[in-house]
Amino acid sequence: MKFKNIILAIILICTPAIIFAQDTNPKTITIRKLTKELSKNIQIVDVRTPKEFHEEHIKNSINYDFKSDEFKSLISNLNKEKPVYLYCRTGKRSAEAAVQLKNSGFKEVYSLKGGITKWKKRKLNIE
């Protein structure tokens, strides 16, 4: 009886944590796959600072600085039902931003593997 009570207590304690656990493993997308998606009307977001964005960015991307106080309100401009492709310099910020979008109800969110640094190494177009 005591063992059953302990198991029940563990289940009751752990269940809310499991239910409300955040998705901490964002999906990544390769440069090759993203270049194919660029021909479509997609949501591509540069999550770097405005200064970094103005220096160079992937064509047709918009800039929502992940580290800014406005990031949460800016993402409300995106369609939660359509895929969102995020990138930064190397992939770290975009991965963090992807987790936040996913936990905000976005269906499909991808972080560009290697970021714009790898994009430039492949000699792909930037603006």
Q: Is the dihedral of CA 41, 42, 46, 50 positive or negative?
A: positive
pLDDT at 115: 96
Q: What is the CATH number of the domain that holds 33?
A: 3.40.250.10
Domain contains 108: yes
pLDDT at 25: 77
pLDDT at 42: 93
In this structure, which amino acid lies at residue 57?
Answer: H
DSSP state of 81: T
pLDDT at 127: 81
pLDDT at 9: 54
Q: pLDDT by residue (tens digit) across 102-115?
A: 999 999 999 999 99
Task: Say if residues 31 and 122 touch (Cβ distance below 8 Å).
Answer: yes
Domain contains 29: yes
Domain contains 11: no
Identify the CA nearest to 82 among candidates 53, 112, 106: 106
Six-digit token string for 38: 């660029």
Domain contains 100: yes
pLDDT at 18: 47
How far is Cα 23 from Cα 63, in angstroms, rounded to an integer? 23
Host domain of residue 42: 23-121
pLDDT at 23: 52
Confidence of residue 123 (pLDDT cuts 50, 70, 90): confident
User: In the chain, how many domains are there?
Assistant: 1
Q: pLDDT by residue (tens digit) across 18-71?
A: 444 455 678 999 999 999 998 888 999 999 999 999 999 999 999 999 999 999
Identify the CA nearest to 83 among candidates 19, 125, 24, 36: 36
